[in-house]
Chain A
């Protein structure tokens, strides 16, 4: 075709301009993230400690796994680490799942036109707007077994007869964390889904409505497939946050190893125990685990990164 020479020239020009458009973001990101990330991976192969960061030796993979005088050492053979991995994954699946369902309900509600919608939108954002360090403490206070308001309400209604020590026993502590996390981050999910709903072309709805198709059917057949890309992004970023959860668990639970998350473990090694090398190894492993889980999610969610515009 006569057009093809011109159009490939146009394509090349577009690709050039694409890199031009990309470069500011890439430069900033490399500048900000490059050194901290490389440094973490680098230190994971050393025995650096926080008390003297300039004096360290390369020890290969010894932080990950090492055989020393008849015993195994390292993150990979530490049962506490694997319990933290389990806790984190359990927490992520449960909390992100609940947030997805609730966020969808909230978003669909907000998408309907009704009086007072603006106020409602502001209201549901409140939990997300309160600084986490405060809301975690606030919930800790509300969940207190003796003078917490939650027990007072539940006992007032008659659901429980004895005060429940929500955050004390490992069985209920992680559920308490899930509840607070759901409370806090459902707005994030809802807002992203709402944005996706708002950008949908309204003509498909009109067609469906005119045809009198059941709204639930419309939702699953029309809406859901259309907002799937946005939904996947919301899920991925919520999962990324959940997999790195720290403050909520740190403030709310009794902080024993039964409830530690991967980030709590890494932080303890890095900061409290000053073992920069070992803590970096845990962080690197955490990164690898998250990367693996995210890639699996992307594949299961059939997110094609190189997808062309519709």
Chain B
């Protein structure tokens, strides 16, 4: 095979592809990236196809990598090349600032529908006055606990982090004395990645220590409350948390908790269904509450997660694509998704909808957590967010491994963030 046939064949392939594209005359074709494969993609496809049937357009669902780092990298390649291959992008809550420039302003296409959604998320998705993405579903960190173990040893679900620490240790020691020597007190996401940023932000915000960078773009992380929060977390490793937690992401933590080897776990809402599945050893013995407060004056908080839908400005049919977004983020579709897949709606009214509450009971109790979730500083730091987050998780990881004290780590973090921001975020 020589190179000329290669070029020739590819030219042929291209013409065929173009011809195929032109053949679809009635309605337009829109492609949407949502989820990787499996159930998430199926639920998305059902919604998108319902829209296609209603409007007479057609829709292609593109699967993208499961890991959000890989997905962001792929999106950046496509968008930087101005590719029109994907019209609607499913983006993480921290990406509007990073990718915003490539998306159209959705405000005028939504018929005011955006006002029904949680204001905090809408604000998060508004970059320089442009609504670059619509909220689709939300997520927030939660505290899972073993209701059977707490009851057995006479404890209530903790309300402060200190109480959580003490309870975890007491239960762990009592259980170990009875021979359950695999048991640990608390597991969370301690690997140096975005998940640790979420965890550490929750500790700090619970202590009223701010969110690393304030909305005005000033570095606020070096404060006594933040130091107190991180210092407490630093005491967990080797005490109530295994050393391995320093390399845990979501699934590693769930593995330990779901095998019955941890009293408490911080994780996202997805764990609920899995931990209560029939084959789970702890099925029926799992409780979930809002994450504890940092002391009496602190607050319950959880890091805001979740996904948004945005329309590429390189799309051939931005209006049609925006209409798909409007449909997918609407009350009815979010309700369907909440019932079928337990995706947390971003519309307040759905948390009082009886059908939704019947399908996912804990939505009602945790409404406050979802609506008050703390946003990572992705808006003020814009394109630099990933660098800020990397510095922050690195500092937190150093405190957890004991490589630095909380005072030291946060002072260093402050100076490196200031150094970074001197030329603007």
Contact = CB atoms under 8 A, between A and B. Distances in A.
Contacts of B397: 254, 256
A24 B69 CA distance: 38
A26 to B, nearest CB: 12
B255 A144 contact: yes
Nearest to A269: B387
Interface residues of A, number: 33
B244 A51 contact: no
Nearest to A167: B247
Contacts of A82: none
Interface stretch (B41-49, B95-103, B298-306): B95-103
Contacts of A167: 244, 247
A71 interface: yes
A163 B255 contact: no
Contact of B3 (A28, A53, A256): A28
Contacts of B390: 268, 272-273
Contact of A271 (B76, B192, B419): B76
A51 B98 contact: yes
B386 A273 contact: yes
A117 interface: no
A145 B245 CA distance: 9
B246 A169 contact: yes
Contacts of A51: 76, 80, 98-99, 101-102, 383
A147 B246 CA distance: 15
Contacts of A169: 243, 246, 401
Interface in B301-319: none
Given A165-B243, A254-B246, A274-B383, A146 B192 contact: no
Contacts of A138: none
A135 interface: no
Contacts of A236: none
A163 B252 contact: no
Interface in B1-59: 2-3
A28 to B, nearest CB: 6
Contacts of A68: 423
A255 interface: yes
A50 interface: yes
B63 to A, nearest CB: 16
B247 A253 contact: yes
A169 B246 CA distance: 8
B326 interface: no
Nearest to A48: B80
Contacts of A163: 242, 244
Given A51-B101, A254-B247, A274 B3 contact: no
B219 to A, nearest CB: 16
A74 to B, nearest CB: 13
Contacts of A257: 192, 394
B388 to A, nearest CB: 10
Q: Which 6 A-B pairs have CB atoms at the shortest separation, nearest pair first? A: A145-B244, A165-B244, A256-B192, A168-B246, A254-B247, A165-B243
Interface of A: 24, 27-28, 31, 49-53, 68-69, 71, 144-147, 163, 165, 167-170, 173, 253-257, 268, 271-274
